[in-house]
Structures are given as structure tokens and as C-alpha cells.
Amino acid sequence: MAAKKAEQALVDQWRDLLALHARTQCELDRALHRHGLCASDFEVLDVLADGSARSGSALRVQEISERVHLSQSALSRLIARLEKDGLVERCMCPQDRRGVVVALTPRGRALHGEVLPMQRAVLTRMLTN
């Protein structure tokens, strides 16, 4: 009986976590929509901003995929859309010509800076009790 209760508590905790994620994702999408972004778009811009601040350069697509929770094909489509919108640029990796690196454009950096406080406010509101 105790094992069954513990199992149910674990399942309930998992479902609560999924519900919190879904609610937070919806709030982020709603807040970012007026800037033409969704939460996944912002996540990629944020990873690029953080990565370029640390290394001073662009990130390989593989490095981005390790930090965002998207399939490789979904990430490739998202990067292509951000590139079309003038927010990022892709080029060949200077160290390995088979690889591709992605960097924020000045427009992408400016938009990231503009929406960053809004995204952080949504996270604060949704994730702190």
C-alpha cells in the first residue's frame, strides 16, 4: 500500500511539472507574440546571446541543440526562419568547413535585449511561489 502511494505521489508530481511547463510556455508565447517571437524563438536567441557573450563568437548548431529542447529538424527550421527574419546569420565554421555556426545579427541582438526583461518577468511570475 505504501509503495502504491509513493508511486502515485511520483506520478502526481510529474503531472504537476508538465502542467507548470505548459502554462509557462503559453504565457511566454503570449508575451512574446507581439514581438513576432514564440518561446522557442526566444530560447535560441537567448542561447546565442549567452554563448556569444562568453566566447565572443557564433555557436555551432550542435551547441545550440544541446541547450534547447527541440529536435534537430525543428531547430534547423527555426534557425532558417530566424535567418529569414534577419535575426541570425549562418556561416561555415572556420575550424571545420563541414560545420555551420549561427550568430545573432545586430537586429537579433537588439530584439533579444528588448524582450529579455519581459521573458524574465514571465519566468519570475510563473516559477516563483
How large is the angle between the packed helices 2-33 and 106-127, nearest 10 degrees? 140
C-alpha cell at 10: 511520483
**Phi/psi zone of residue 86: left (φ > 0), alpha (ψ -120 to 50 degrees), beta?**
left
Mean pLDDT of 4-27: 95
What pLDDT sits at residue 3? 84
What pLDDT sits at residue 51? 78
What pLDDT sits at residue 95? 74
What pLDDT sits at residue 1? 80
Whether 52 has a pLDDT exceeding 70, the answer reads no
Report the percentage of the chain scoring pLDDT > 70: 95
Q: H-helix or E-strand containing 123?
A: helix 106-127
C-alpha cell at 39: 518561446
Mean pLDDT of 30-42: 96
What pLDDT sits at residue 56? 63
Whether 53 has a pLDDT exceeding 70, the answer reads no
Which stretch of 3-12, 30-39, 113-122 has the lowest confidence by average pLDDT? 3-12
Sheet of 59-60, strand order: 59-60, 100-104, 88-92
State pTM to two decimals: 0.87
